[in-house]
């Protein structure tokens, strides 16, 4: 019956986690998956989340089905986090949001909607991007291509090429953007650069799809939302997928949201109804527990305040690790410029290590990076950073 079934060889990021678990070497360090680990190399349980969970459990509420679109208080809080409390578009009901199964679920629901109404459009993703962006949009039937982004020569962005590219692609093309903490490079557009490309996207009638999975871990919760708020201010019709996996450290609960910003309240309602349509057919409704925990953190002033300072702590620890890595590598190899480590933002760094060097790190030093040379900075800590920096120096020699 199943002889003809193709074998799925696994995902390049998720498979590495499994290989890492099997590795018996005690010095091993996992810098592959985008997960925030604390100073002791442990997945943190945030205090704000712990309190919300305790509160929820103490109420002994049975787990009812949520509506297709999720919990109302959750959805409102997501809008405030992304668009800002006083955003006039919220009062005008031009933004609609649904609770989703993580950022991945938001992308998939958005992709389903877009393919239903814009099936002839091409989806453009940054070169490079998170591999699953391509997979998710291809899975619903889109043709996915790349727009110029990272420049390996300079470690910056091919900005002029990007601008020219946006000026020439067809109307209603879908452009997937990373508002902050670009995955995998860590290289973000500046505010001035956003201010240049967003009006082009609007004038050219392109459809922006902003995927924000690391809000708060770049420059801060408010700062990282700049591109989203600017696009809303400029009157673009666009989509935002956001994930709470990283900034709430709630990976396994699958918490995220998908928002649409439309020109009118009526249009926003139409798109929202199609989100419901897609959700009903994909998984019917999102998780109750995850929705409530997140909503309690976001809507209880004391917990919200605690959460923002916990996110701030994660951001600062990542920065400290960037600096320490820069210092040690610069000391070990003085003739090489490692300043990209401190210029990049968020969880990831594109190290520029070749596939061969990445494999050497894994085989000889039990240091795991993704094959494209991406490393997760937040897996570094004071206990392992010297070991990692020295291993890097050895393969770079």
> Cα separation of 164 and 367, whole Å?
39
- For residues 89 and 275, which CB has a smaller minimum distance to ligand KET in the complex? 275
Asked if 391 contacts 333 with a C-beta cutoff of 8 angstroms, the reply is no
Binding status of residue 351 toward ligand KET by CB under 6 A: no
Token digits of residue 142: 């889109």
Of 104, 215, 259, 381, the one binding ligand KET (CB under 6 A) is 104
Q: By CB under 6 A, what part of segment 108-127 binds ligand KET?
A: none
* Using rule CB under 6 A, residue 179 touches ligand KET: no
Q: Which residue among the candidates 94, 158, 246, 324 is catalytic per the annotation?
A: 246
The reply to whether 69 sits near ligand KET by the rule CB under 6 A is no
d(C-alpha 81, C-alpha 6), whole Å: 42
Q: What is the total count of residues that contact ligand KET (CB under 6 A)? A: 14
Would you count residue 130 as binding ligand KET (CB under 6 A)? yes
Q: Is 13 in the site for ligand KET (CB under 6 A)?
A: yes
> Which stretch, 100-108, 282-290, 309-317, 383-391, contacts ligand KET (CB under 6 A)?
100-108
> Which tokens sit at 19?
């290989």
246 is catalytic: yes
Residue 34 contacts ligand KET per CB under 6 A: yes
Strand ranges in 4-87 using DSSP code E only, listed in sequence order: 29-30
CB of 211 to ligand KET, least distance (A): 5
Rg (CA), the chain: 21
Choose which of 103, 186, 286, 287 interacts with ligand KET (CB under 6 A).
Answer: 103
* Site for ligand KET contains 211 (CB under 6 A): yes
For residues 253 and 43, what is the distance between their CA atoms, to the nearest angstrom? 14
Applying CB under 6 A, which of residues 148, 155, 216, 256 lies at the interface with ligand KET?
256
Q: In angstroms, give the least distance from the CB of 243 to ligand KET.
A: 3
By CB under 6 A, is residue 48 in contact with ligand KET? no
**Residue-by-residue DSSP string for 307-361:** HHHHHHHHHHHHHHHHHHHHHHHHHHSTTS--THHHHS-SSEEE----HHHHHHH
The dihedral region occupied by 176, where left means phi > 0, alpha psi between -120 and 50, and beta the remainder, is beta
Give the residue with the Cβ less far from ligand KET, 89 or 250: 250
Q: How far is CA 145 from CA 29, 84, 127, 186, 322, in A?
A: 34, 32, 9, 21, 32
The answer to whether 328 contacts ligand KET (rule: CB under 6 A) is no
Per CB under 6 A, which of residues 281..310 are in contact with ligand KET?
Answer: none
Q: Per-residue b/e over 267-294, b at no fewer than 16 CB within 10 Å?
A: ebeebbebbbebbeeebebbbbebbbbb
Among 213, 278, 303, 391, binds ligand KET (CB under 6 A): 213
SS3 content of the chain, % helix, strand, coil (to 5): 50, 15, 40
How many CB atoms neighbour CB 38 within 10 A?
15
Q: How far is the CB of 274 from ligand KET (least distance, A)?
A: 21
The catalytic residue positions are 130, 211, 246
Residue ranges in contact with ligand KET by CB under 6 A: 13, 33-34, 102-104, 130, 132, 183, 211, 213, 243, 245, 256
């Amino acid at each position: 019956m199943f002889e003809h079934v193709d074998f799925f060889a696994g995902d390049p990021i998720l498979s590495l986690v499994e290989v890492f678990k099997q590795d018996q070497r005690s010095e091993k360090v996992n810098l592959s998956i985008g997960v925030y680990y604390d100073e002791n190399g442990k997945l943190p349980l945030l205090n704000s989340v712990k309190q919300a969970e305790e509160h929820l459990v103490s109420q002994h509420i049975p787990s009812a089905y949520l509506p297709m679109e999720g919990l109302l208080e959750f959805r409102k809080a997501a809008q405030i986090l992304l668009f800002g409390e006083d955003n006039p578009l919220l009062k005008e009901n031009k933004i609609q949001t649904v609770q989703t199964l993580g950022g991945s679920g938001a992308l998939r629901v958005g992709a389903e909607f877009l393919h239903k109404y814009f099936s002839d459009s091409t989806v453009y993703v940054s070169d490079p991007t998170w591999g699953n962006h391509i997979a998710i949009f291809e899975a619903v039937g889109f043709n996915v291509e790349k727009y110029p982004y990272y420049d390996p020569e300079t470690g910056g962005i091919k900005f002029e090429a990007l601008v020219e590219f946006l000026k020439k692609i067809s109307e209603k093309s879908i452009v997937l953007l990373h508002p902050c903490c670009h995955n995998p490079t860590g290289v973000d557009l500046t505010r001035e650069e956003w201010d240049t490309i967003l009006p082009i996207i609007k004038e050219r009638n392109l459809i922006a799809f902003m995927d924000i999975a690391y809000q708060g871990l770049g420059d801060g919760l408010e700062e990282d939302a700049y591109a989203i708020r600017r696009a809303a201010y400029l009157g673009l019709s666009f989509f935002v997928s956001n994930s709470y996996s990283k900034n709430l450290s709630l990976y396994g609960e699958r918490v995220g949201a998908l928002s649409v910003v439309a020109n009118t309240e009526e249009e926003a309602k139409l798109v929202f109804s199609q989100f419901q349509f897609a959700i009903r057919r994909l998984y019917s409704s999102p998780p109750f527990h995850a929705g409530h925990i997140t909503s309690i953190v976001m809507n209880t002033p004391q917990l919200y305040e605690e959460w923002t300072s916990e996110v701030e702590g994660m951001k600062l620890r990542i920065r400290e690790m960037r600096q320490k890595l820069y210092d040690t590598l610069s000391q070990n190899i003085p003739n090489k410029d490692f300043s990209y480590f401190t210029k990049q933002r968020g969880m990831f760094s594109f190290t520029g290590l070749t596939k061969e060097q990445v494999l050497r790190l894994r085989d000889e030093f039990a240091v795991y990076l993704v094959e494209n040379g991406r490393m997760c900075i937040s897996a570094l800590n004071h206990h392992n950073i010297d070991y990692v920096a020295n291993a890097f120096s050895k393969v770079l020699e």
